[in-house]
């Protein structure tokens, strides 16, 4: 279970000015939920996701995963927890350009539990099959379409069998057809693998894919319902 308690995040802009992206937000996300966070640009939804994923330190408040306060951990502990329990899909093309698709998928295994290299290879190939790209194992990101790249990102996010998948506007750079394909993939993964999902999007039409929708504005949650 993910718990945020009175979490605030303020970014310093230098010269004494700052911006508060998330303001005293409290939130609970239950296991196996598929939460969709919507809001306009600047509403704080990406920052909320980053706080949940411990990618940014809260200015105040606490972020807990299964009762563990993420910011009371050391950096190595936090990184290990992130590698074992979380998977990420970002809006921007986040594959490493010097690695092939298969190598990108295998990448999280460097930081996860120590495993046999053949077991790692097998799992990576399986995941590529799951996302429908078994014929693109040796392709480099520049040789893949935006939609294909995002599928590889999803496969990579699942490599270490995470409990939570966090996706920040994963379909915003895709055409409508590809967007729907990716959303279907997310839905299938949620249903078949029982992963807790938190997805940020500015497209209200995608709310129907989730089990709960949260709306944010001005750094606060204004609607929180199923």
Partner 1 sequence: MNLYWLASKNISGNAFRTGVVALCALLVGSFALFTTLLMRGAENSLRLAINRLGADIVVVPEGSEAKIESALLMGVPARFWMSRDILSQIAAFPDVESASPQLYLATLTGASCCSVSDMFIIDYDPQTDFTIQPWLEQNQLDMLRLGEVVGGTYISATDGKQNITVYGYLVTLMANLEPTGTGLDQSMFLTFDTAYDIASKSVQQAERPLEIPTDSISAVMIKAKPGSDPHLLAVEILQTIPGVTPIESSNLFQSYRQQMTGLLKTILFIMSITWVLCVLLLGLVFSMAANERRKELGVLRSLGATRRFVFQSLLTEATLLAFAGGATGLALTVLIIILFRNALVALLGLPFLLPSAGSLLLQVLVGLFLALFSVNLAALLPAMKISRQDPAIAMRE
184 and 132 Cβ atoms separated by less than 8 Å:
no
Tell me the site size for partner 1, rule CB under 8 A. Answer: 34
Residue 163 as a binder of partner 1 (CB under 8 A): the answer is: no
Residue 82 as a binder of partner 1 (CB under 8 A): the answer is: yes
Residue 57 as a binder of partner 1 (CB under 8 A): the answer is: yes
Binding to partner 1 (CB under 8 A): which residues in 126-155?
none
Residue 172 as a binder of partner 1 (CB under 8 A): the answer is: no
- Is residue 186 classed exposed, middle or buried when 0-12, 13-18 and 19+ CB atoms within 10 A define those classes? buried
Residue 53 as a binder of partner 1 (CB under 8 A): the answer is: yes
Single out the segment in contact with partner 1 by CB under 8 A; choices: 64-72, 97-105, 131-139, 210-218.
97-105
50, 171, 196, 201: residue in contact with partner 1 (rule CB under 8 A): 50
- Tell me the closest approach of the beta carbon of residue 124 to partner 1, in angstroms: 10
Inter-residue long-range contacts of 191-196, CB under 8 Å, 24+ positions, other chains counted:
193/158, 194/32, 195/32, 195/87, 195/158, 195/162, 195/163, 195/164, 195/165, 196/2, 196/29, 196/30, 196/31, 196/32, 196/33, 196/34, 196/163, 196/164, 196/165
Binding to partner 1 (CB under 8 A): which residues in 8-27?
none
Residue 75 as a binder of partner 1 (CB under 8 A): the answer is: yes
- Tell me the closest approach of the beta carbon of residue 107 to partner 1, in angstroms: 6
Residue 109 as a binder of partner 1 (CB under 8 A): the answer is: yes
The phi and psi torsions of 164 (rounded to 5 degrees) equal: -130, 135
- Tell me the closest approach of the beta carbon of residue 177 to partner 1, in angstroms: 26
According to DSSP, the β-strands at 212-217 and 34-39 are parallel
> Which parts of this chain interact with partner 1 (CB under 8 A)?
47, 50, 53, 55-57, 75-76, 79-80, 82-84, 86, 88, 90, 92, 94, 96-99, 103, 106-112, 117, 120, 156, 160
């Amino acid at each position: 279970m993910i718990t945020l308690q009175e979490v605030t995040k303020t970014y310093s802009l230098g010269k004494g000015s700052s911006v508060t992206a998330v303001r005293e937000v409290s939130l609970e996300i239950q296991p196996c939920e598929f939460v969709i966070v919507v809001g306009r640009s600047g509403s704080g939804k990406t920052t909320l996701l980053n706080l949940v994923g411990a990618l940014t330190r809260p200015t105040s408040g606490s972020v807990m995963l299964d009762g563990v306060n993420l910011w009371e951990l050391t950096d190595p502990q936090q990184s290990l927890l992130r590698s074992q329990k979380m998977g990420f899909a970002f809006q921007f093309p986040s594959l490493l350009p010097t690695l092939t698709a298969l190598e990108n998928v295998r990448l999280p295994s460097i930081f996860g539990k120590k495993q046999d290299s053949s077991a790692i290879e097998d799992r990576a190939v399986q995941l590529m099959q799951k996302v429908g790209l078994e014929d693109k194992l040796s392709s480099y990101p520049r040789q893949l379409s935006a939609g294909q790249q995002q599928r590889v990102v999803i496969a990579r996010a699942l490599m270490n069998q995470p409990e939570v998948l966090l996706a920040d506007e994963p379909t915003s750079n895709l055409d409508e057809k590809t967007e729907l394909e990716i959303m279907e993939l997310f839905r299938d993964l949620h249903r078949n693998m029982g992963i807790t999902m938190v997805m940020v999007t500015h497209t209200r039409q995608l709310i129907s894919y989730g089990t709960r929708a949260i709306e944010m504005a001005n750094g606060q949650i204004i609607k929180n319902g199923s």
